[in-house]
Amino acid sequence: MKKYKYLILGAGPSGLAVAHRLLQSGLSTSDILVIEKNAETGGLCKSQIVDGAPLDTGGGHFLDVKYERVLEFLFRFMPKEEWNKFDRISKIRIHGQEIDHPLEANLWQLPKDTQVEYLESIAKAGCVSDEPIPDSFSDWIVWKLGNKIAAEYMLPYNKKIWSMDLDKLGVYWLHKLPNVSFREVLESCLYGKPQGQLPAHGTFLYPKNHGYGELWRLMGSALGDSLLLSTEVINIDLSTGLVNGQWQAETIINTIPWAHWENYCSLPENITTAISKLKNISIDVEYNSNTLTSDAHWIYEPDENKSYHRQLLRSNFATGARGHWTESNSSRTSGSKSETHFHNEYAYPVNTKDKPEAVAVILEWALENRIIGLGRWGKWEHMNSDIAVLEALQLADSLTSSEASI
């Protein structure tokens, strides 16, 4: 049995970033161990070469970092010069056309009579007329964007991606989206260009010569003996911090889904109940060698007759690539799968109404047992990889500064 200060479960972006930051803060390689069930690091951010070019097997992954310290940290592993920078072109396929995203800022690209119908519906939207914010997701969509964008794009698109009753989702995760202004939508239709505040992620980085997974592969290999690959966590002794009967931790940092914890150890009933409230959806990624004629990097597809909800036009962002890949909720994909098909069981945490309370209960119990939840599955939050890294850096800094002050 070996003893460690920190055992880190999972080597996706969160586990990799917290491990490196702990090492950078002065911990030795014998203080930490990262345990990863897969043969490669990167989690949802992994890539493979398919048909001669990279494909991101967890879906379309692009780096857009708001925080300079995150960018500096990531560039240590894959320098700035190794990334291409793109102005994002994302489109929505609607009314037989491809319209720039977001739809409400680009209605001017539609025929005039269709613009009038959309404008009329936005003028009547609850958020424009200061009606109270509804507490379920489907009502929120209509409140935010009006009946027509809801019926023709947002509701069918979200039904596809979540493939569940949208009324089970809360609205607490939507506060970052800017409010729709009728005046700005009207101006954009009159002037023939987007107006007002556009959503984040206007530019992104993608590796020049690799898929997105290369960054996380490099971070994994830089961990050396502090990383165990192809090693699944199957047993945790809560009283001693012993994992798989082999490695003992003073503190466990958990980035793997809580949903499996009842297989690893015996949990109090209230924690089993809280964990049962955490929902996730699975995403299938499928390669198609057909190169689409569009300048978009990706296209959202609300048509419910198509199984996929997004196409990734890799020929427009991966060097030397042809073809595209699709993302579908796994419950919408048919039985026969091609060789170039990738299943991601844990893809999106679902923001159900009762999730925040369940997560708070789990994280409080975990802390009492010297376990810290981190990342997409440790916090059950829909965060992008830059935020996963930011939170990992913050956690490592707080752990090492509290050690220094003891």
Ligand X SMILES: Cc1cc2nc3c(=O)[nH]c(=O)nc-3n(C[C@H](O)[C@H](O)[C@H](O)COP(=O)(O)OP(=O)(O)OC[C@H]3O[C@@H](n4cnc5c(N)ncnc54)[C@H](O)[C@@H]3O)c2cc1C
Which residue's CB is nearer to ligand X, number 71 or number 186? Answer: 71
Torsional class of 288: left (φ above 0), alpha (ψ -120 to 50), beta (otherwise): beta
Only one of the segments 8-16, 120-128, 237-245, 246-254 lies at the binding site for ligand X (rule: CB under 6 A); that segment is 8-16
Instruction: Give the one residue of 118, 247, 348, 380 binding ligand X; rule: CB under 6 A.
Output: 348
Residue 347 touches ligand X, criterion: CB under 6 A: yes
> Which of the residues 166 through 195 are near ligand X (CB under 6 A)?
none
Residue 88 · residue 199 · CB < 8 Å: no
Residue 321 touches ligand X, criterion: CB under 6 A: no
Which residue's CB is nearer to ligand X, number 137 or number 308? Answer: 308
Which residue's CB is nearer to ligand X, number 5 or number 343? Answer: 343
* Shortest spacing between CB 387 and ligand X, in angstroms: 7
Q: What's the burial of 14, exposed, middle or buried (CB within 10 Å: 0-12/13-18/19+)?
A: buried
> Which of the residues 20 through 39 are near ligand X (CB under 6 A)?
35-38
Whole-angstrom CA distances from 111 to 1, 90, 108, 202, 301 are: 70, 20, 8, 26, 19
Residue 318 touches ligand X, criterion: CB under 6 A: no
Which residue's CB is nearer to ligand X, number 308 or number 346? Answer: 346
* Shortest spacing between CB 241 and ligand X, in angstroms: 16
d(CA 396, CA 349): 24
Residue 371 touches ligand X, criterion: CB under 6 A: no
Neighbours of 406 (CB within 10 A): 4
Structure tokens at 31: 């203080």
Residues 61, 62, 65, CA angle at the centre, nearest 5°? 130
Only one of the segments 116-124, 272-280, 374-382, 396-404 lies at the binding site for ligand X (rule: CB under 6 A); that segment is 374-382
Which residue's CB is nearer to ligand X, number 82 or number 386? Answer: 386
Instruction: Give the one residue of 7, 9, 55, 249 binding ligand X; rule: CB under 6 A.
Output: 9
Nearest to 369 by CA among 212, 243, 213, 186: 243
Residue 373 touches ligand X, criterion: CB under 6 A: no
Which residue's CB is nearer to ligand X, number 66 or number 208? Answer: 66
* Shortest spacing between CB 201 and ligand X, in angstroms: 8
- Residues 6+ away with beta carbon under 8 Å from 211: 47, 48, 49, 54, 55, 56, 318
Rounded to the nearest 5 percent, the helix, strand and coil shares of the chain are: 40, 20, 40
Residue 284 · residue 342 · CB < 8 Å: yes
Only one of the segments 131-139, 183-191, 329-337, 383-391 lies at the binding site for ligand X (rule: CB under 6 A); that segment is 383-391
Pairing of strands 32-35, 227-228: parallel
Whole-angstrom CA distances from 392 to 75, 221, 346, 356, 395 are: 16, 18, 20, 20, 5
Structure tokens at 175: 């506060």
Nearest to 147 by CA among 124, 114, 131: 124
* Shortest spacing between CB 16 and ligand X, in angstroms: 7
To which residue do tokens 């990889």 refer?
385
Instruction: Give the one residue of 74, 103, 171, 233 binding ligand X; rule: CB under 6 A.
Output: 233
Residue 59 touches ligand X, criterion: CB under 6 A: yes
Which residue's CB is nearer to ligand X, number 9 or number 33? Answer: 9
- Residues 6+ away with beta carbon under 8 Å from 306: none
Residue 118 touches ligand X, criterion: CB under 6 A: no
Number of amino acids touching ligand X (CB under 6 A): 38
Residue 253 · residue 7 · CB < 8 Å: yes
Residue 359 touches ligand X, criterion: CB under 6 A: no
Nearest to 347 by CA among 65, 57, 66: 57
Which residue's CB is nearer to ligand X, number 45 or number 105? Answer: 45
Residue 383 touches ligand X, criterion: CB under 6 A: yes
Residue 213 touches ligand X, criterion: CB under 6 A: no
> Which of the residues 38 through 57 are near ligand X (CB under 6 A)?
38, 43-45
Residue 256 touches ligand X, criterion: CB under 6 A: yes
* Shortest spacing between CB 77 and ligand X, in angstroms: 15
Residues near ligand X, by CB under 6 A: 9-15, 35-38, 43-45, 58-63, 232-233, 255-256, 260, 283, 327, 346-348, 375-377, 383-386, 388
